[in-house]
Amino acid sequence: MNPLLESSLRWLCGRFVRLFYRLHLLPSHRLPEGGCLLVPNHLSWADAVLLQVATPRPIRFLVDDAIYRRRTLRPLFAAIGALPISQTRAKEAIRTAAAALKKGEVVCIFPEGEISRSGSLLRIQRGFELIAREAQAPVVPVWLDELWGSILSFSEGRYFFKWPRQWPYPVTVAFGEPLHGSDAAAGLVRERLLDLGEQCFQQRAVIRGHLGRASIEGLARQAGTEVLVDGNDDSRLTRGMLLALGLALANLLRRQCAESRIAIVLPPGKGATIANLAVVLAGKVPVNLNFTAGRPSIESACRIAGLRCAITARVFQNKLPDFAWPEQVLCLEDLAPRLKLKAVAWRGLISVLPTALLARLAGMPATGDRAEAVTLFTSGSSGEPKGVVLSHRNLLSNVRQFSHMIGLKKGDSILACLPLFHSFGSTVTLWYPILEGLRMVTNPSPLDIPKNAVLIHKHQVKLMCSTPTFLRGYLRKAEPEQLRSLQLIVTGAEKLPMDLAEAFESRFGKEVLQGYGLTETSPVASVNVPDPAAPWPGCPVQSSNRKGAVGKLMPGMSAQIRDPETGKKLSLHTTGMLWLKGANIFEAYLHDPQRTADAVQDGWLRTGDLGRFDEDGFLFIEGRMSRFSKIAGEMVPHETVEAAVVRVLEFSGEERIVAVTGVPDESKGEALVLLASRDVDLSLLRGKLAAEGLPNLWIPRRWVLVEEIPHLASGKLDLRKLQELAAITS
């Protein structure tokens, strides 16, 4: 390349970037001396320009031959020394790129082969492996962060014709540790790119904020629009009025509750939303207690969290005669008369004051970051409940991540019926609509299927979050017309049976999208989403969902697969223990250092789930370790056995009829027990399972008739109750 032309082009690129972008280079590994192959992610049409400005040496980009030879673009590509590559002349392209590397040049190939239209990392194509091995040149993973949302990305379903979120637009670039050319396999490059993406996401300024301040900003914008419809009484709140009531109650809570944590005992609805918002605006921590749990669990939670004050409603308190109430109980009905005048005053201020001044007047700090924001107690499906401390960083990150993946528009409605002591109910159906401008349509119970179906139809709900257990009710009690407005049906908490998904799609014409998460991941870790639209006719589909998978990881998350017993790191494509890292990963259990040390190591969360990734980045969960039995030295998955039983006995997907658990066995360590809510001919079942090819160790030798398969209020299987039922009859 002509040195004068090169310097001129670099100057022009720099001017372009400084005008439209705010470029930040993450302190990272330096480019190696001599030739090296850059392999960055690809999110926008500006990626090459940004990468060149971030790189101190000139880059020779590999460009598809069909694009290179376009009359309008060819002079530009020739000027920057781009290298055309063609699938029909692959060997020639490899030799050309390798020759440039051997001459000591920096060569760049976008290994995904196209711009991502979902914002997620696509399949890493293997062409770069051949180039790196031919040249024996180091391979440098590069991550370009925050470009999803810029006008040159495909966010909002289109390129160009939209307003950028900011100007100048923030972009972070990180260079990874060079990989030896012979070691740089596609799977390893994907892993390193995810690691870089996680590091970049951790640097985003927005996640260092405060949940209360972010709520003020989210609600003060378009304060006159509706934010909540209470399905219990059809009352409604605008965004401004919800904020005003929250600020008024927050002032009262500061005076009346000295403790840093306040219990909330309410189902989804107007009262629970105001209470949670007010506690955060008061600078305190809401702890939504599981009112379906037994008294010992509640007493344990109150003791661990130091709860001495609870917010509830008198009508709801009367429904819980055996609840372990803290010493101070505040009923919203008693507080309401004292809030009216203050709420009216706050509403007036919200109308005239800028959000920054409003936040200062409310006493909201600009930064919350790693401080405790919300504490949730786990459902205790397989042990005693644990207090999961979620920070401001955790919640702000997960809301931003979920919003990125789901892509709902401001004003869209979501069904908010999941309990708020459930992490999905807390983050996705409470804080997500408050922060991102959506409308929540609440109902106290996810089991009230007829009412939920009516609300979905009446208010044109776009997003429904559920569990497989709750979805079964819609097959029996809802009509297709009632669910017609739904664009997204996301299910989690337990594995989605394929027969249930197929039955639901057949009846309602709606695909059920499976996701995955844990309370410790705030909670959403991955989710399937609809395939993005093609930008022009004939453009190939970029798959964003896959049957049997739980979707792709949230933006800014990294993953490892490790051996469950030795902890040795494995390939992402091998089944093993799933470890996750990201800004949405919690840091500690409340006052429980031993359990924390067992779960979190150097920022990595041991999920307790066995999983693997396919080459497109979709995560497959093979089962929880707690849902495996070790029989004669072999790991036997309960969910696989359950699916085989349902299949050979031809049970419908409308209700859960069987569950498998393990009990101690002197000779083989454990034995499988089948629990069923219908009569089962065990000898006939065993014969059918054997004919299906199920290993003999995997076939239950005993079954127990139960009234119903036990579930927790969150929709998960109650694993402890299963074991108790199996043990009683053993």
Residue-wise pLDDT for 380-407, tens only, equals 544 567 999 999 999 999 999 999 999 8
> Above pLDDT 70, what percent of the chain?
92
What value does the CA radius of gyration of the chain take, rounded to a whole number of Å?
Answer: 27
Q: What does the alpha-carbon distance between residue 433 and residue 390 come to, in Å, rounded to a whole number?
A: 18
Burial 459-487 (b: 16+ CB within 10 A, else e): bebbbbbbbbbbbbbbbeebeeebbeebe
List CB contacts of 232: < 8 A, sequence separation 6 or more.
269, 270, 442, 443, 444
Q: Looking at the predicted structure, is the pLDDT value of residue 195 above 80?
A: yes
Domains and CATH numbers, the chain: 3-203 (3.40.1010.10), 206-388 (3.40.50.12780), 632-728 (3.30.300.30)
107 forms bridges with which residues in the sheet?
Answer: 37, 60
> Mean of the pLDDT values across residues 261-287?
97
CB atoms within 10 A of CB 613: 24
Q: Looking at the predicted structure, is the pLDDT value of residue 460 above 80?
A: yes
pLDDT at 602: 93
Q: Looking at the predicted structure, is the pLDDT value of residue 629 above 80?
A: no
> Mean of the pLDDT values across residues 658-671?
79
Pick from 583, 623, 216, 639: which is nearest to 401 by CA? 583
Confidence of residue 470 (pLDDT cuts 50, 70, 90): confident
Report pLDDT digits (tens) over 324-366: 999 999 999 999 999 999 999 999 999 999 999 999 999 999 9
> Mean of the pLDDT values across residues 517-542?
88
Selected residue with higher pLDDT from 564 and 349? 349
Selected residue with higher pLDDT from 77 and 227? 227
Q: Looking at the predicted structure, is the pLDDT value of residue 673 above 50?
A: yes
Q: What is the largest CA-CA distance in the chain?
A: 85
Mean of the per-residue pLDDT values of the chain: 88
Pick from 709, 710, 690, 707: which is nearest to 698 by CA? 690
DSSP string over 532-584: PPPSSTTPPP-----TTS--EEPTTEEEEEE-TTT--EE-TTS-EEEEEEETT
CA 265 to chain centre: 26
Going from the C-alpha of 655 to that of each of 124, 468, 627, 676, 689, the distances in angstroms are 40, 9, 20, 11, 21
pLDDT at 694: 81
Long-range contacts of 561-569 (CB under 8 A, 24+ apart): 561/611, 561/612, 561/613, 564/610, 564/625
CB 397 within 8 A of CB 556: yes
Confidence of residue 97 (pLDDT cuts 50, 70, 90): confident
Describe the crossing of helices 332-352 and 270-281 by its angle, rounded to 10 degrees.
70
Q: Looking at the predicted structure, is the pLDDT value of residue 79 above 80?
A: no
Q: Looking at the predicted structure, is the pLDDT value of residue 730 above 60?
A: no
